[in-house]
């Protein structure tokens, strides 16, 4: 809510500033700011490689993001701006003594950015950047069209190789899109509601897997918090009405930028193409960039409504206050998140978790750790209440598994069984729910069912094998040997 208010007030303020041709910055000035911001992200990435301080355990560099995907998108955006700077000779608009510096900045950015792509291995970033670069040259130079076509064929081959290298990830994403389309068409007009994607998607997966077992692709199922296609998630949450509105809004933006600025058009286009296989427009930095571009796209030739100076100053003050208030809210929220992540979200007291509630409402692990702390104090009902809140922001089946554990400790075995079954059907390539059901039947004293699920645990092939899954299988084997 705070970010939505911030973006709205930012748009209103920038729209007013950019509506005056004397205060409206040139397109190459905005693009230069984007290039400088990309350099900052590159420096953060290099520092992370040197110190090993990435925000993701399995990825070498993530910049100021929690994943290498959005980081690659930011680098790609800056590299597209750099290509446009060089190709359309935007650096010639600057004074002579800094033209060479800007040109060298763009070249170095392209070299370092391409090297970073080799580390992140982001298929969407590589394909989008290469495709837009080829289009620019193909459209500009007719003599190079054969070369561009050959490079396009080469790009297609590279795409196939990249998909093969990360085959499970690619297939998993296609499966997510397939189920998201099913969810979209089942709620065609109004959607499932803003913020209800994770909960609705998890419930749909549970219903589908309960009715039939998709054994061919079950190992490619994954826990998701996004649809990995921003426009598809908008359609899923807001239905056809929101989908059409979004398409019209971005079409107006692209048409306007295409008429006014090559560099901002291609920069914006690169982000939109990347978002078709990612979730970047759910992140505040990219939301601010698009908001600024929308405000810059205002037509200064239109007739403006005259407002008295008193009313104008009142609007400025109100806008400033709203920005300061929302920025303060976001600042405290970021501070709370940093505090939570500093200790990996664990080790806090119940009172500390309660104080972090307003800051960490969008972090799934917060609910798990908070519920675990309540569970240790035998506050099982409070723990379940927190876990059910977590289901609104995450499709993690472990939430239902923990709800089942709480019911089991309260000796509500029927409710515990239902929770474990729901956890399994949400993601049927996880071993933990089956193991929990086996232990539940053992506690109840139903030896036949306990043995049946012990066999299932032994024969089960988890998506990711680990020390924990091997321990579960060993315990199931011991259970069978006892009988």
Domains recognised in the chain with CATH numbers: 2-301 (no CATH), 309-416 (1.25.40.10), 431-483 (no CATH)
Neighbours of 202 (CB within 10 A): 24
- Interatomic CA distance for residues 189 and 292, integer angstroms: 30
Name which residue leads in pLDDT, 288 or 365. 288
Dihedral sign from CA coordinates of 201, 202, 206, 209: positive
pLDDT of residue 243: 93
pLDDT above 60 for 142: no
pLDDT of residue 302: 47
Q: Which residues, other chains included, contact 479 with Cβ-Cβ below 8 Å and sequence gap of 6+?
A: 438, 442, 450, 451, 454
Q: Which residues, other chains included, contact 56 with Cβ-Cβ below 8 Å and sequence gap of 6+?
A: 62, 66, 67, 68
> Contacts for 104-109 with beta carbons within 8 Å, 24 or more apart?
105/35, 105/39, 106/35, 106/82, 107/82, 109/35, 109/38, 109/39, 109/42, 109/78, 109/79, 109/82
pLDDT of residue 345: 54
- Interatomic CA distance for residues 462 and 465, integer angstroms: 6
Name which residue leads in pLDDT, 383 or 365. 383
pLDDT in tens, 75-122: 999 999 999 888 887 767 777 778 888 888 889 999 999 888 888 888
pLDDT above 60 for 459: yes
How much is the pTM? 0.82
pLDDT of residue 318: 67
Q: Which residues, other chains included, contact 290 with Cβ-Cβ below 8 Å and sequence gap of 6+?
A: 253, 268, 271, 281
pLDDT in tens, 390-430: 888 888 888 999 999 999 999 898 999 999 999 998 888 88
pLDDT of residue 203: 85
| Residue 210: band (very low, low, confident or very high) from pLDDT cuts 50, 70, 90 | confident
Neighbours of 156 (CB within 10 A): 12
**The CA-based dihedral angle spanning residues 203, 206, 211, 216, taken in that order and rounded to the nearest 10 degrees:** 130
| CA gyration radius, the chain | 26
Summarize the confidence of residues 5-22 as an average pLDDT: 74
pLDDT of residue 163: 66
For residue 202, give the nearest of 180, 186, 217 by alpha carbon. 180
Name which residue leads in pLDDT, 180 or 344. 180
């Amino acid at each position: 809510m705070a970010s939505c208010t911030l973006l709205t007030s930012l748009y209103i303020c920038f729209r007013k500033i950019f509506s005056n041709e004397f205060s409206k910055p040139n397109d190459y000035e905005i693009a230069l700011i984007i290039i400088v911001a990309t350099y900052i992200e590159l420096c953060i990435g290099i520092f992370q490689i040197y110190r090993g301080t990435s925000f993701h355990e399995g990825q070498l560099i993530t910049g100021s993001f929690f994943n290498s995907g959005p980081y690659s998108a930011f680098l790609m955006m800056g590299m597209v701006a750099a290509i446009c700077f060089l190709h359309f000779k935007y650096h010639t608009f600057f004074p002579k003594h800094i033209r060479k510096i800007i040109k060298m900045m763009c070249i170095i950015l392209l070299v370092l950015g391409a090297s970073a792509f080799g580390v992140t291995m982001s298929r969407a970033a590589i394909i989008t950047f290469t495709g837009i670069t080829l289009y620019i040259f193909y459209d500009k130079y007719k003599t190079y069209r054969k070369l561009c076509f050959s490079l396009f064929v080469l790009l297609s081959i590279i795409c196939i190789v990249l998909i093969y290298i990360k085959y499970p990830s690619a297939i998993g994403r296609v499966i997510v899109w397939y189920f998201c389309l099913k969810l979209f068409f089942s709620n065609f007009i109004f959607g499932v509601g803003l913020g209800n994607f994770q909960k609705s998607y998890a419930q749909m997966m549970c219903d589908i897997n309960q009715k039939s077992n998709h054994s061919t692709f079950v190992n490619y199922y994954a826990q998701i918090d996004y649809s990995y296609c921003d426009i598809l998630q908008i359609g899923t949450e807001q239905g056809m009405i929101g989908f059409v509105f979004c398409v019209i809004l971005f079409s107006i933006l692209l048409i306007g930028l295409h008429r006014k600025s090559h560099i901002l058009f291609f920069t914006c286009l690169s982000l939109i193409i990347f978002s078709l296989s990612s979730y970047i427009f759910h992140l505040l930095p990219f939301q601010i960039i698009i908001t600024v571009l929308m405000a810059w796209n205002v037509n200064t030739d239109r007739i403006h409504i005259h407002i008295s100076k008193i009313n104008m100053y009142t609007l400025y003050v109100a806008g400033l206050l709203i920005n300061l208030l929302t920025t303060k809210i976001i600042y405290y929220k970021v501070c709370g998140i940093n505090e939570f992540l500093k200790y990996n979200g664990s080790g806090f007291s119940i009172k500390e978790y309660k104080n972090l509630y307003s800051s960490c409402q969008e972090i799934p692990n917060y609910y798990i750790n908070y519920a675990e702390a309540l569970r240790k104090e035998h506050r099982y009902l409070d723990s379940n209440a927190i876990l059910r809140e977590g289901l609104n922001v995450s499709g993690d089946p472990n939430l239902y598994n923990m709800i089942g554990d709480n019911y089991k400790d309260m000796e509500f075995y029927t409710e515990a069984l239902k929770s474990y079954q729901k956890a399994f059907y949400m993601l049927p390539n996880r071993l933990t729910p089956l193991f929990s059901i086996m232990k539940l039947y053992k506690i109840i004293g139903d030896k036949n069912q306990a043995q049946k699920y012990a066999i299932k645990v032994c024969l089960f092939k988890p998506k990711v094998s680990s020390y924990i899954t091997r321990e579960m299988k060993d315990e199931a084997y011991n259970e069978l040997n006892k009988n």
